[in-house]
Amino acid sequence: MDGQENEQHGTGDETAPEDRRAHRRWRPGTVLRRLGVVLALLVVTLAGVVAGTYAGGHVGTDIGPFRAQLNLSPSLSGGTTVDIPPLGALLLDSHDGPAYLTVELGALDQRRTEALIDDPASISRASQSAVEDVRTGVMRLGLKTLASAVLATLLLAGLVFRDARRTAWAGGLALVVTAGSLGLAAATIRPQAIEEPRYEGLLVNAPAIVGDARRIANDYTKYAEQLQRLVGNVSKLYTTVSALPVVQPSPGTTRVLHVSDMHLNPTGWQLIRTVVEQFNIDVVIDTGDITDWGSEPEASFVGSIGLLKKPYVYIRGNHDSGKTAAAVAAQPNAVVLDNSTTTVAGLTIAGIGDPRFTPDKETSPAGSGLTKVVADQVIGAGEQLAATVKASPKPVNIALVHDPASAGPLSGTCPLVLAGHTHARQVSKLPQVPDKQPTQLFVEGSTGGAGLRGLEGEKPTPLSMSVLYFDQQKLLQAYDDITVGGTGQSQVNLERHIIQDPKKGDRVPVTPTPTRGGPVSPAPNGSPTTATPSPTG
């Protein structure tokens, strides 16, 4: 018996350690500790990758005639910034995250600058190497960032864990994370992004840096050509002593400047003159509200139209009176449209004035919102213009209305409708009429920053205008949205948009417009609850 008991005790002693180890392995405390270690590894790895990227994610390289600095930083959205001090910066939606590339072009040194000035053709030759220079620089940047991220993670893990195995795990994980991030950025590269930049800087530099608007295919050859043009443009700016270079338009391109809702702001005229000169504008289109009250003393404000020395096509807004329209018509270069058409710079343009005259919205019910009565007025104006467009002996390229609520009846009659009134820029398509061409609706912001009322909010209303580029068939092929931060601010934001298929128009959502008998009850601020943006003018 004693032997059997001893044998049983002995057997129990042999299996107990294994049971105890298994039990300890799955105890809640052990599981939490293991999860803590894994979490710590992840945190240390990410911290090491971020620190290593900031510490080593930069290289110096030559890009064409420039000495440039390439910097890589973590990012959720990705993209590229090309800093061109002191001229401004180009922002490109070049790739998806999680890596952001910053390219800072340095100024030319004295000897290289003198050589470029003595031989202007050398600018073109030097820019030819830009594509290969960028590719080589980015490859070096990626390899250096990868090595720096892994090294920083190993050092940090060694200090935190003081364990060789855990440090090795952190280093391997850092390699996978960094290489995967760089690979994702490389796999999502969009070469066409360089053709649709967003420019930030001084307005006078914008056309020279961004260059002319051209449609571009999504292939590397076109990307290389555009990059060479960009480097060439900036080289010319750096080597020009007295005047900025004039960017020549592509053959057959017609440039239209769309302005609206000046509201007596003289700053708007300064901005218009700069854009007309720098962008080589062919015709200016004004969709109304050039004044605030439409009074006779305000008529002198339109005298600046004649100074532009470019065709100026205008329609009356709801703040403009008959006297205002007459003052505009008296300018030698102005054309006032009121349910009529004209042909300017090869473009056939139809326009109609706003049916209302409501300078004081506080005392005029018709100006306080899109009621059914007002809707019938503005829709009726659109119907009148649509009949005029259909009866035109020449196909109409652009139709002008002040209130976008008037645009609905024009769907299918012409490819483009321009409007204002809302003080908020919007690009959309009108609901398409079966068997008719699609019609785009461009609503401009306020070129005058909404006048005095633009200062009532926390921030001034920005000054907005757009440059529209038409091809030889007079179809819209590209447009630049220009925004100045507000009254008293000089920094400008320019966004280039390329229309891939001008016959179909831009890829924008369809926006319904009010229809007779539809729900158009006014909102508290005077905006309709459906269909259109808030009318503030």
* Tens-digit pLDDT profile for residues 87-132: 678 888 988 888 999 988 775 555 555 555 555 555 555 556 667 7
| Interval 470-494 mean pLDDT | 80
**Per-residue pLDDT for 526 more than 50?**
no
pLDDT at 114: 53
The whole-number pLDDT of residue 33 equals 77
Least reliable range by pLDDT among 75-84, 410-419, 475-484, 528-537: 528-537
Q: Which H helix or E strand runs over 496? A: strand 491-498
- Separation CA 242–CA 266 (nearest Å): 27
**Amino acid 350: pLDDT:** 98
Q: What is the pLDDT of residue 329?
A: 97
pLDDT per position as a tens digit, 206-250: 776 676 665 443 444 555 566 656 666 655 545 443 333 334 456
Arithmetic mean of pLDDT, 37-49: 90
> At residue 498, does pLDDT exceed 90?
no
In this prediction, residue 204 carries a pLDDT of 63
How far is 294 from 198, CA to CA, in rounded Å? 36
pLDDT tens, position by position, 191-215: 777 778 888 876 766 776 676 665 4
Pairing of strands 347-351, 398-400: parallel
How many Cβ atoms from other residues are within 10 Å of residue 117's Cβ? 14
Following DSSP, what letter does each residue of 509-527 receive, concatenated?
Answer: -B-----TTS--PBPTTS-
CB atoms within 10 A of CB 476: 22
Whether residue 535 has pLDDT greater than 50: no
* Greater model confidence, 455 or 262: 262
pLDDT at 439: 96
Task: Give pLDDT tens digits for 342-387.
Answer: 999 999 999 999 999 988 654 443 444 667 888 889 999 999 999 9
Beta-bridge mates of residue 340: 351
pLDDT in tens, 376-407: 899 999 999 999 999 999 999 999 999 999 99
Query: Could you tell me which residue, 513 or 531, shows the higher pLDDT?
Result: 513
CA distances (Å), origin 108, targets 64, 117, 206: 10, 11, 20
Nearest-angstrom CA–CA distance, 131 and 90:
17
Task: Kindly tell me if the per-residue pLDDT of 435 is higher than 50.
Answer: yes
Q: Look at residue 66 and tell me whether its pLDDT is greater than 80.
A: no
The answer, yes or no, to whether residue 335 has pLDDT greater than 60, is yes
pLDDT averaged over every residue in the chain: 79
Position 293 confidence tier, pLDDT thresholds 50, 70, 90:
confident
Q: Once rounded to an integer, what is the mean pLDDT over residues 16-24?
A: 55
Answer for the pair 398, 285: CB distance below 8 angstroms, yes or no: yes
pLDDT of residue 228: 59
Mean pLDDT of 64-87: 82
CA separation for the pair 430, 409 (Å, rounded): 9
